[in-house]
Amino acid sequence: MRCAYCGCVQSRVVDSRQNEEGTSIRRRRECENCGRRFTTYERVELVPLMIVKKDQTREAFDVEKLRSSIVKSCEKRTVSLGKIDALVREIEQKLNSMGESEIPSKVVGELVMDGLKTLDEVAYVRFASVYRQFRDIQTFRDELNKLLADFDKGTADGNDAAR
């Protein structure tokens, strides 16, 4: 870190402390050239995550919007809010760990569908039908058949394991 007084790039840290919330670290540095002290702060860089929609428009990622769309899909089902919140956190973490500043809405949709598939089939089909905007009954039927095939496979595997 370049010294604010003489421009020398060599400095040593003489004190380092975290703020109360643990969101930043303040460091007192001493310039190795002129001996003067200055302060630097270190924080996690929060890059706003942008979602690229089908029509190529961008929208800031909104975790509340994600949560409410999942809650809606789980209406009158037996999925607890705790499980929904866990799924939302998991999706948010996955998105952040991609290290991208722009993510296609498709990726978010797939993550939600993957998560819902394991939580509740009805919620999954509800979400998928809105998300994939089934154009007609045939696309809906195809999706349902795929789901049923997966489900049958899961049951069969379960039986095999039990034997």
Judged by the rule CB under 5 A, the positions of this chain that interact with Zn ion are: 3, 5-6, 8, 31, 33-34
Please state the closest distance from residue 9 (CB atom) to Zn ion, in A: 9
Biggest CA pair distance of the chain: 77
Contact between residue 63 and residue 88 where contact means Cβ atoms under 8 Å apart:
yes
Residue 73 amino acid letter:
S
Query: Residue 97 belongs to what H/E stretch?
Result: helix 81-97
Please state the closest distance from residue 23 (CB atom) to Zn ion, in A: 28
Residue 3 amino acid letter:
C
Which residues, other chains included, contact 95 with Cβ-Cβ below 8 Å and sequence gap of 6+?
A: 49, 61, 103, 107, 108, 111
Please state the closest distance from residue 14 (CB atom) to Zn ion, in A: 13
104 by Cβ neighbours in 10 Å (0-12 / 13-18 / 19+) ranks as: middle
For Zn ion, the closer of residues 12 and 54 by Cβ is 12
Please state the closest distance from residue 17 (CB atom) to Zn ion, in A: 22
